Structure 1
Amino acid sequence: MSNFLPINTILIPQGAEYKAVCRGLSGITGSIPTVVAIPVGMKPLLKYLQQSQGNGQFLPPKSRVLIMGICGSLSDRYTVGDIVLYQNCVYLGKRQECDRTFTSQLHSAISEEASLVKSLTSDRVIWSAAEKRHLGETLGADVVDMEGFTALEFFNAVGVAVAMLRVVSDDCQHNIPDLTSAIDSDGSLKPFPLAMGMVRQPLAATRLIRGSLTALKVLEQVTNRLFSGNRLE
C-alpha cells in the first residue's frame, strides 16, 4: 500500500495497542511508516504533541498521519472486532474532520472490511452500557475513544492530514469496568488501580479482556495486510 498511499507516521496509544500494530508490521519487507506510541487520554496527548512539535519531532505540513487503536461502540450496528474508519470526532459540541481524501483512499483499500463512522472523544472512560447508548443516540456518534478529537484538532491546525482506523473492543450492550482512575496524568496505566477496577467487577472485566484480545488480534491483522498489500480475509 505504501507505494500508492504514502503514510509518514502511525500513532497508536501506548501499551497493548502499540504492541499489536508493531506485531502487524514485523513481517513487512517494504518501507513502513514511523510508528510512535502516544499517551492515553486527551490532556496527556495534547501535552505530548505540543512538546514533540517544540522539539522538532513532528511533521511538516502536507504530511499524512494514520492513527490506529481500539475503541468502544455506541451503537448496535458495531460490535467487538469490527474495523472502523473515522469521518470525524466530536467533543463538547465541537467537531473535527478527518482528511477526506486520505480516508477515502484507505476505505477503498479495505472497503469490504471497514465501516465509515462518526466518533465521540471522551476525557474519561465510558463504562456504562446505558451511557454508551444514550451518547450514541443523542450525539449521533457510532464509537468512542479518548484521543481522536485532540489529535485531529492539533494536526488540522498545522496542515497535517489525518485518518483514523480503529477496531471495536467493547459493545454498547454490556458494562465494562470503570477504569478512569487507572489512567495516570501522563497517559499511562497505573497497575494497582487497574487491577482493583478489574477485581471489583469480575464479569465486566472478563468481558473487557476478551473483547480487547479479539480487537487487538484484528488490529494486528489489519495492520499487516494493509501494509503488505494483501486483502483481509
Structure 2
Amino acid sequence: MNRQLVLVPQGAEYRAVQRGLRGQRLRGWQVVPLRAGAAALSTPALSAALANGPTVAVVLGVCGGLQPQDPVGEVVVYRTCQDEAGVMASLDGLLLARFGDRWRFVKAITTQGVMCKAKEKQALARRWGVEVVDMEGVLLLRHLQGLGIPVAMVRVISDGGDRDLPDLTHAVDHLGNLRPWPLMVAMLRNPLAAAYLVQGSLRALAVLEAIAPEVVRCLADLTPAPLP
C-alpha cells in the first residue's frame, strides 16, 4: 500500500514529474494528479489516496515569481504559505531540514486566480513580504495538516515578477481544466507575453522533471528501501 504522496497539478506538471520519476522504482510513493486551483481539494484521486492513510506528502509543481530579479527555472522550497487575507501556515520543519541548502527557502502566497500583471505581482510581494505565488498551495497545506500529514512543497519558478503574462482569467474552468479556446484568445491578444509564458513554462517543466527524483531521495529514509 502506498503511504507517501507526491501531489502535482494535473497536465504538463504531472507529466513532467512522471517522466522524472520513471524508472526510480521507489516503493511506497504514489504520484497523484490534482485539479488546478481551489478545485484541487475536490480531486477524486486525492480523496482516494488520502483514504490509505499516507504518512507524508510533498507537493511539486511550478509557481510564479513576484520579484523582478526572480530567475525563471529557479527551484524554491516553501517555508510558509498564506492566503490573500494574510493568514499563514508553516511547512513541516523536519521535512524542510531534509532539503538542507540545496534550494532557496521562500514565503509563498496562494491566490484565487493567475497573477498576470507585473505591477500586481510586485504589489503583492510588498504588501505581504512574500516571494512566490500559486493557486492551491495553502489550501492543500491546511487540508493535509488538518489530517495530521506532514507536508513539504517544492516548486519551480516559471515566470518572474518583471513581466506581464496573458490574461488567463477565463482560460481555466471551475474544475481546474484549461479551456482551449479562451486560452488561445488570451495568447493571441498578447503574443509577446504569450511567448514569455511558453518559454518560461518549458524551462520550468524541464527543471521540474530533473529535480523530481532528488526531491523524493531527500525523503527516501521515510519510505521502504528501493526495489533491487
TM-score calculated relative to the size of structure 1: 0.86
Instruction: State the number of aligned residues.
Output: 216
Would you say 1:215 and 2:204 are equivalent positions?
yes
**Partner SS state of residue 60, structure 2:** strand
Q: How far does residue 96 in structure 1 lie from its aligned partner after superposition?
A: 1.6
**Partner SS state of residue 178, structure 1:** coil
C-alpha change, 1:32 and 1:157, in structure 2 (3 Å) is closer
Q: How far does residue 226 in structure 1 lie from its aligned partner after superposition?
A: 3.6
Match in the other structure for 1:39: 35
C-alpha change, 1:227 and 1:66, in structure 2 (3 Å) is closer
Residue type of the alignment partner of 1:79:
P
Partners in 2 of 1:7 and 1:169 — Cα distance?
Answer: 30
Partners in 1 of 2:7 and 2:46 — Cα distance?
Answer: 13
Task: Map residues 137-148 of structure 1 onto 2, 5 A cutoff.
Answer: 137-148=126-137
Alignment RMSD (CA, Å): 2.0
Q: Is the 8 A contact 1:59 1:160 kept in 2?
A: no
Partners in 2 of 1:13 and 1:56 — Cα distance?
Answer: 15
Partners in 1 of 2:215 and 2:130 — Cα distance?
Answer: 26
**Partner SS state of residue 84, structure 1:** strand
Q: How far does residue 98 in structure 1 lie from its aligned partner after superposition?
A: 1.0
Residue type of the alignment partner of 1:25:
L
Task: Map residues 1-233 of structure 1 onto 2, 5 A cutoff.
Answer: 8-31=4-27, 33-42=29-38, 44-48=39-43, 52-53=46-47, 57-60=50-53, 63-91=55-83, 92-105=85-98, 107-108=99-100, 111-112=101-102, 114-227=103-216
Percent identity over the alignment is: 37
Q: How far does residue 220 in structure 1 lie from its aligned partner after superposition?
A: 0.3
Give deviations 1:148-205, integer Å, cap 9, x for gaps.
Answer: 0100110111101110000000000000111121111111111111111111110000
Q: How far does residue 7 in structure 1 lie from its aligned partner after superposition?
A: 7.2
After the TM superposition, which segments of 4 or more aligned residues of structure 1 sit over 6 Å from their partners?
none
Partners in 2 of 1:226 and 1:57 — Cα distance?
Answer: 21
Match in the other structure for 2:224: none
